[in-house]
Amino acid sequence: MAQAGDDYDPTPSEDELEAHLQTRNMEINLGPSHPATHGTVRLKLELDGETIVKMDPEIGFLHRGFQKSCENVTWTQCIPYTDRLDYVASLTCNFGFITAVEKLMGVEIPERAKYIRVIGAELHRIASHLTTAGALGLELGGFAAFLYAIEGRELITDRVTELTGARLTTNYGRIGGMNRDLPPGWEENVLKSLVKIEQYAAEVDGLLTRNRIFADRVRGTGVISKDDALDFGFSGPCLRACGVKYDVRKNKPYWVYDKLDFEVPVASDGDNFARYYLRVLEIEQSIRMIRQAIDMMPGGPVMVDDWRIALPPKDQVYSTIEGVIAHFKLVMEGVPVPVGEVYHATESANGELGWYLKSDGSGRPYKVHVRAPGFQLLSALPRMCEGRMLADLIPTFDTINMIGGEVEQ
Amino acid sequence: MSTFALDQIQQQLPDALVERYVDRAGDAWGVIKPERIQDTARLLKDKLGFRLFVSMDAVDRLHLPPEEQSPRFEVLYFICSPERSEHVRLKVRADEGQEVPTIRFIYQGANWAERFVWDFYGVPFKGHGDLRRMLMYEEFVGHALRKDYPLRGRQGLIAERPIKDIFRGPGTNGVAE
């Protein structure tokens, strides 16, 4: 039998012209555009029958020079680029970047802005988890769960549209706080939607979790050990599925996570089912957090009162010289970020979203490094799939929930 | 901020640590000699319990003030201990073309991260063994995140690669010879 790495000569030998059953390994491409995978990734697979012998993911189809683009615009102008990183949960990327810049500048933002960020980030965490769970069902052949999940996500998208004016490319939040306050009556809308989302999440849970066909496909497949998961740099639900209790919101609380009462679910199997089920449990926790945050949110300003960072009010710009100067300097030169560097981590839907920022004081970032959780997860995909069946690749690829936008920058 | 990891590196590998400083936000950084990065990584992983690999990247220092320009590259390592909730932030400085020893066989996650750094900055990693480009294509010339690579440095289309790895089955598969 042929081994992994054998040189393959495609010209059939004399006896093969008669024998149609091949015993040699076959190389196939899964992707870059394949109906059973979401995301544009080319997986070069070497198969022995239906067993994956060797796997080599080739990524970069969605590379658009995120870092290079950021190095050539002002700090505020980077925020729209961060939308396009994790396009399923763009608010977490917006807020993560802004928080890292604020840490570099040493700016403390108003309390209300912190609560708004928690609400936004948790809403998008629910959206991301619903998409992952729904798409997992869809790609394993259960279409109904996907419809409920997307219906729930659509409600979140509607609320986010009311909040930011855009469905996906949110561009919400500015350095030093939020660019605008919540629209009137928005909290009530969110609370109403949460009731609906709870029902949809329960539907997805009920359709999939105890479904025998689904369980057979996800239980015991895509297993990774705790040591390997740490070694490869897993984070988020995928790391917690291996029994490591690590969540940036608990371990290094930012915004107001230390004031909220929530739990971090942990599993120990490290298989696809654990990764899927933790997401279902996290949706409940996120709903809990949003309700608390809306309840506890104080009034007051949402932006720091400093015209070097925040745009002055329009009437001041039109009537006073200070307003004109502040407005002009902020728009033309950007936010003055001092010389220095920082690494700051936030918890996005898929794990630790880390930012290394370096400023040379010129008003533009010198370096913007984003630590995308999916990049490390995807690099472990060969480890999880080699020696397993080809069919198990699909749920494994789904549950690591690699997002092309952030992995390929 | 806990500085347990850097204290331990300073104590146990005093000759590996070149410089130690605290950034504006109060986090500690350590600069490690390139040839000692493997020892440092082993110490962190095996003895100190920093088992969670976080990330790697590099900085091209070409446009920084003159006193900070040499050596040209700074390779960044972020490693975490979930039990301690502590990130350790390390740097290795390397000149153009200077090889940095790989930590791929200590932290498996560094495999792709080192390929990424090679792809975008052209810092070679000694002993990596599979240093292909990560996000760009093999035919791409240069390293895109270097400061002297132009923002709009477009490159022409590449020739189509010969298809070797598609097995069409025995016979001519319907294609006339």
pLDDT, tens digit, for every residue of A60-101? 888 888 898 898 899 999 999 998 888 888 999 999 999 999
Cβ contacts of B145 on chain A, cutoff 8 Å: 67-68
Of the candidates B107, B145, B170, the beta carbon closest to that of A17 is on B170
Residue A235 sits at the chain B interface (C-beta within 8 Å): yes
Residue B73 sits at φ, ψ, to 5 deg, of: -110, 150
Q: Is the pLDDT of residue A11 over 80?
A: no
- State residue B1's pLDDT score: 64
How far apart are the CA of A151 and the nearest CA of chain B, in angstroms?
A: 34
Domain boundaries, chain B: 4-126
Reported confidence tier of residue A1, pLDDT bands at 50, 70, 90: very low
Of the candidates A63, A345, A376, the beta carbon closest to that of B135 is on A63
Q: Is the pLDDT of residue A402 over 90?
A: no
- State residue B164's pLDDT score: 59
B21 CB-near residues (< 8 Å, 6+ apart): B28, B29
Task: Give the tens place of pLDDT for each residue, A25-41.
Answer: 778 888 787 777 777 88
What average pLDDT does the segment A385-398 reach?
87
- State residue A99's pLDDT score: 92
Reported confidence tier of residue A3, pLDDT bands at 50, 70, 90: low
Residue A369 sits at the chain B interface (C-beta within 8 Å): yes
How far does Cα A195 stand from its chain's mean position?
Answer: 24
- State residue B163's pLDDT score: 62
Binary contact (A230, B168; C-beta < 8 A): no
CA nearest A229 in B: which residue?
B52
CA distance B43 to A65: 35
Binary contact (A342, B27; C-beta < 8 A): yes
CA nearest A340 in B: which residue?
B24
Domain boundaries, chain A: 66-407
Q: Is the pLDDT of residue A6 over 80?
A: no
Q: DSSP per residue over B8-55, as a string?
A: HHHHH-TTTEEEEEE-TTS-EEEEE-GGGHHHHHHIIIIIS---EEEE
Residue A380 sits at the chain B interface (C-beta within 8 Å): yes
Task: Give the tens place of pLDDT for each residue, A146-192.
Answer: 999 999 999 999 999 999 988 888 888 889 888 888 999 899 999 99
CA distance A349 to A351: 6
User: In 3-state terms, what secondary structure has residue A216?
Assistant: helix
Q: Where are the alpha helices (DSSP H) in A72-142?
A: 79-83, 90-105, 111-139
Q: Is the pLDDT of residue A195 over 90?
A: yes
Q: Domain B4-126 - what CATH class?
A: alpha beta
Residues in chain B predicted with pLDDT less than 70, given as ranges, are 1, 162-177
DSSP state of A76: G
Mean pLDDT, chain A, rounded, equals: 87
- State residue A13's pLDDT score: 63
Cβ contacts of A234 on chain B, cutoff 8 Å: 52
CA distance A199 to A148: 9
The number of helix segments (H) and strand segments (E) in chain A equals: 17, 6
Cβ contacts of B116 on chain A, cutoff 8 Å: 375
How far apart are the CA of A173 and the nearest CA of chain B, in angstroms?
A: 21
CB B149 within 8 A of CB B142: yes
- State residue B116's pLDDT score: 92
Q: Is the pLDDT of residue A126 over 90?
A: yes
- State residue B172's pLDDT score: 55
ipTM confidence score: 0.85
- State residue A15's pLDDT score: 61
If contacts are CB pairs under 8 Å, which of residues 263-292 in chain A contact chain B? none
CA dihedral sign, ordered B164, B168, B170, B176: negative
> Cis omega before residue B71 (within 30°)?
yes
What average pLDDT does the segment A202-214 reach?
89
Residue B151 sits at the chain A interface (C-beta within 8 Å): yes
Residue A44 sits at the chain B interface (C-beta within 8 Å): yes
> Cis omega before residue A301 (within 30°)?
no
CA distance A88 to A131: 8
Cβ contacts of B165 on chain A, cutoff 8 Å: 8, 27, 29, 44
How far apart are the CA of A384 and the nearest CA of chain B, in angstroms?
A: 13
Q: Is the pLDDT of residue A2 over 60?
A: no
The neighbouring-strand residues paired with B74 are B59, B93
Q: Is the pLDDT of residue A379 over 80?
A: yes
Which is the CATH superfamily of the domain at A66-407?
A: Cytochrome-c3 Hydrogenase, chain B (1.10.645.10)
Cβ contacts of B109 on chain A, cutoff 8 Å: 231-233, 376, 379-380
Residue B144 sits at the chain A interface (C-beta within 8 Å): yes
Binary contact (B54, A379; C-beta < 8 A): no
Residue A376 sits at the chain B interface (C-beta within 8 Å): yes
| Residue of A367, A371, A383 to mutate when probing chain B, most B C-beta within 10 A | A367
Instruction: Tell me the count of A-B CB pairs closer than 8 A.
Output: 135
Binary contact (A344, B25; C-beta < 8 A): yes
Return the amino acid letter for B176: A
Task: Give the tens place of pLDDT for each residue, A276-333.
Answer: 999 999 999 999 999 999 999 898 888 888 888 888 888 888 999 988 998 998 888 8
